[in-house]
């Protein structure tokens, strides 16, 4: 983390750090005696802090449910 007055993180470092924090929060959310209010507040805050323009935009008309059928639990 840069010190006060230092150079800002580049988009890759910022993205990696935020994804790491989101992953840690997801693991924490499944622990016994989790503070659910903390998770409910932090998850959207972290997700909204992902750097804009780092990932390519989703193409118009993209449907994530439209794809090949993969084997599920019944196989």
**Which tens digits make up the pLDDT trace of 13-69?**
888 888 899 999 999 999 999 999 999 999 999 988 887 776 677 788 888 788 777
Phi-psi region of 17 (alpha: psi -120 to 50; beta: other; left: phi over 0): alpha
Q: Closest by alpha carbon to 22, among 51, 3, 49?
A: 49
Q: Is the pLDDT of residue 1 over 60?
A: no
Widest distance between CA atoms in the chain: 57
pLDDT at 4: 58
Q: Tell me which residue of 54, 32, 28 sits closest to 41, measured CA to CA.
A: 28
Distance separating alpha carbons of residues 14 and 8, to the nearest angstrom: 9
Q: What is the pLDDT of residue 60?
A: 86
For 36, other C-beta atoms within 10 Å of its C-beta total 9
């Amino acid at each position: 983390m840069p010190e006060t007055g230092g150079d800002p993180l580049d988009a890759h470092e910022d993205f990696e750090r935020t994804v790491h924090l989101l992953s840690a929060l997801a693991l924490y959310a499944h622990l016994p005696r989790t503070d659910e209010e903390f998770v409910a507040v932090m998850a959207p805050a972290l997700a909204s802090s992902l750097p804009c323009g780092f990932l390519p935009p989703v193409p118009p008309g993209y449907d994530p449910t439209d794809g090949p059928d993969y084997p599920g639990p019944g196989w």
